[in-house]
Structure 1
Amino acid sequence: MAARSQARWQRGHVVEAELVAEGVRRIVLEVEHPEHAAPGTHVDVALTAQGRQQTRSYSVVRSEGGGRRLTLSVQLSPASRGGSQAMHALAVGDELTVTGPVQSFPLAVGAGRYVLVAGGIGVTALVAMASALRRRGADYELVLLGRSRRVMAYLDELSAEHGDRVRVHVDDEGTPLSVPDLVGEIAAGSNAATTELYMCGPIGLMDAIRSSWTDHALPPTNLRFETFGSSGRFGAEEFLVRLPQLDRDVAVAPDTSILDALNAAGVETLSDCRKGECGLCLAKIVEVDGTLDHRDVFLSEAQKQRCTNLCLCVSRAVAGDSGDRATVTLHLT
């Protein structure tokens, strides 16, 4: 993951803004310092939402004109902390402060076969990858998942561009993806050892693929991923974080993260991705009163079960049967 401090901030002007699926807005920016955005890159966007400064990351769907025009797409989240609402409110002519392209999800060269799996808005991270693979003449497959076709951005465009290389699984049509079948097909293939799978989507989907990938003893380095959010097993609710080493208690509201709550309280912590991927904000768990909801893809399932560490940027807690506010006691390193 490239560090945010290495990114160059610049002005970007909105030149196009339209809905491309239910709840998904396509935003095209013209930036002052053009730089081609390779497949897998994102830009960070500085926003003022709900009265505070926020930084959000969005995948670059298309890079045109040598990187002068960058296409982003944003899903309006019902649990938004203001970021997606601010992006959906943009109109042609508005100005944003954005970084240049940041590479965090690079597409490798030389794999025997590529499988791209996109769940919902996760497709935005894979559109450019699929186009690059088509231009290369690579052996690839694009697997698209969604609750309904009406919420699946770029579905028609991708189907037209990639033809029979696209597999579509839609829940409300009774065609959900079977992860064991997908990974089993890869494992049974003649080039299983050189097949790379790139995935972006809900945490549950990616956890299921990772588990099945491990069960089939496929090379772990051939499984690549990027998250677009931090949906968890439980709804967000307020909980308390205790820091005995600092003699501090910090409340974490439903619309914020442990990381942001600590920073707002003046507790400095290390962080980078803010998506539960890099592990830089990992903290030691001392005690949990309630149920922990990890929401990250950095820790393995076994590590999550041991419950000895959590990622401050996405992990949450919910109250137990008592109905009281959950409490998580941490030691910051």
Structure 2
Amino acid sequence: MAVQARTRRQRARVVEVADAAEGVRRIVLEPEHPEHAAPGTHIDVETGNGVGRVRSYSVVRSEDGGRRLTLSVQLSPTSRGGSAAMHRLRVGDELSVTGPLQNFPLAVGAARYVLVAGGIGVTALVAMASALRRRGADYELVLAGRSRAVMAYLDDLAAEHGDRVRIHVDDEGTPLAVDDLVAGIARSSASAATELYMCGPIGLMDAVSQSWAEHGLPAANLRFETFGSSGRHPAEEFLVRLPQLGREITVAPDTSILDALDAAGVETLSDCRKGECGLCLAKVVGATGTVDHRDVFLSESQKERSSSLCLCVSRAAAADGGPAGPAVLSLHLT
């Protein structure tokens, strides 16, 4: 019954809205069925005026037993869907949401914790840092971003955690040196018992994962939460062909293959919608342009072969000097 309570749809009323940073909106909800949200949890929110567009947002703060849940949403420059709808919210508006869902739990008992946030990824780690401070744990909070103006909760976190915060800002000439960070963990006396939790752009997470493996640190001690909007190429329109169904479907810059297929009435299997679980994996039978893998399910060698992709986050980009028009992916749905 507890699982049903967390996943059932309920109404949530917007009680506060404010800017958390440039392009980042802080939204406080009062859910119909309050439930405390543990660190690392998220809620699924239906946006798009009831057309079934669902987005997952980390719970930044859970207050008064879950009666007030704080989310923060970064506006995508190409959004006409999820983030744009969330930024239009005003006090008194209502949303259809789930209860707190946990895919990124904070473990108990590690000798040391390192939390790494890239940009809006900080939203998944705010509550974790607070929990570690209350426990009296040994922890470090690493915040990285393009500029201070776009880094949400920067001042609040610095005030709460003091010298445990490390701030890296690209336009100030202090970008995060991933290998230096991981090498420092590897050299420490508690290296085998240090857990690293990270959330942010896929490029940052790939770099941390690669360095972690190269330094021989335990794979089980690296934990992550992903944002499917991260990618190596700007989002652009492309075509998906389904030879088995004789269908061709356009995927707009602000939607995913999975959502485009759903909207076209093509049934698919999915779960996390963040490129983590692999349930929506499809076979690539042909492609013009470049497959932009944005998942953390496939290995680097699998991504290089591009024989399959995750429908929920992967995209296609037209190759430089290639044929005119949008990229085309031919897929076989399993």
> What TM bracket, shorter-length normalisation?
over 0.9
In the other structure, the counterpart of 1:126 is 125
Alignment of 1:173-184 (within 5 A): 173-184=172-183
Paired position in structure 1 for 2:26 = 26
Shift of 1:249: 2.1
Q: Is the 8 A contact 1:241 1:330 kept in 2?
A: yes
Counterpart contact for 1:4–1:272, Cα < 8 Å = no
- Identify the residue that residue 224 of structure 2 maps to in structure 1: 225
Q: Match for 1:34: what amino acid?
A: P
Q: What whole-Å deviation, never above 9, does each CA across 1:254-289 have from its counterpart, x for those lacking one?
A: 222111111122211111111111111011111222
Which AA in structure 2 matches 1:236?
Answer: A
Number of equivalenced pairs: 330
1:12 and 2:5 are equivalent in the alignment: no
CA distance in 1, matches of 2:5, 2:207: 33
Amino acid at match of 2:106: L
SS at match of 1:107: coil
How far did residue 245 of structure 1 move?
2.0
| TM-fit CA distance, 1:141 | 0.3
By how many angstroms is 1:130 displaced? Answer: 0.3
Residue deviations 1:27-68 (CA, integer Å, cap 9, x gap): 11111211100000011111125x833111111111111111
1:293 aligns with 2:292: yes
Aligned CA RMSD, in angstroms, stands at 1.7
User: What is the TM-score when the length of structure 2 is the normalising length?
Assistant: 0.95
What amino acid does structure 1 have at the position aligned with 2:35?
A: E
For the 8 Å contact 1:59–1:125, the answer to whether it is kept is: yes
**2:92 alignment counterpart:** 93
Q: What is the 5 A alignment of 1:100-249? A: 100-249=99-248
Report the AA paired with residue 182 of structure 2.
V
More deviation, 319-328/142-151: 319-328
Asked if 1:322 is matched to 2:303, the reply is no
User: Would the aligned equivalents of 2:6 and 2:100 in 1 still touch at CA under 8 Å?
Assistant: no
8 Å CA contact 2:6–2:98 kept in 1: the answer is no
Gaps of 5+ in 1: none
Greater shift after overlay, 240-249 or 177-186?
Answer: 240-249
Letter in 2 for 1:10: Q
Q: CA deviation at 1:182?
A: 0.5
Separation in 1, partners of 2:261, 2:93: 32
Q: Hey, what's the Cα distance between the residues in 1 that align with 2:215 and 2:85? A: 43
Q: Which amino acid aligns with 2:59?
A: V
Aligned to 2:332: 331
CA distance in 1 between counterparts of 2:92 and 2:252 reads: 34
Deviations along 1:54-84, one digit per CA (max 9) or x if unpaired, are 1111111111111111111111111213211
Residues 4, 260 of structure 1: CA spacing in aligned structure 2 closer, same or farther, 3 A cutoff?
farther
Deviation for aligned residue 1:226 = 0.6
Greater shift after overlay, 93-102 or 61-70? 93-102
Q: 2:311 maps to what in 1?
A: 312
Percent identity reads: 76
Q: Is the 8 A contact 1:24 1:73 kept in 2?
A: yes
- Paired with 2:5 and 2:14, the residues of 1 have a C-alpha distance of 24
Q: Deviation at 1:21?
A: 1.1
Letter in 2 for 1:44: D
- In structure 1, the partner of 2:47 is 47
Deviation at 1:246, TM superposition (A): 2.0
Stretch of structure 1 that moved more, 231-240 or 24-33: 231-240
Shift of 1:251: 2.2
8 Å contact from structure 1 (residues 230, 296) kept in 2: no
Corresponding residue of 1:36: 36
Tell me which amino acid in the other structure corresponds to 1:48. G
Letter in 2 for 1:191: A
Cα drift, residue 6 of structure 1: 6.1
Equivalent residues of 2:13, 2:94 under 8 A apart = yes
Aligned partners of 1:24 and 1:187: how far apart in 2?
Answer: 34
Determine if contact 1:36/1:63 at 8 Å carries over to the other structure.
yes
Paired letter, 1:23: G
Deviates more, 1:265-274 or 1:322-331: 322-331
1:26–1:72 CA contact under 8 A, matched in 2:
yes
Is the 2:104–2:225 contact (alpha carbons within 8 Å) kept by the matching residues of 1? yes
- The answer for unaligned runs of 5 or more in structure 2 is none
- The alpha carbon displacement at 1:4 in A equals 9.7
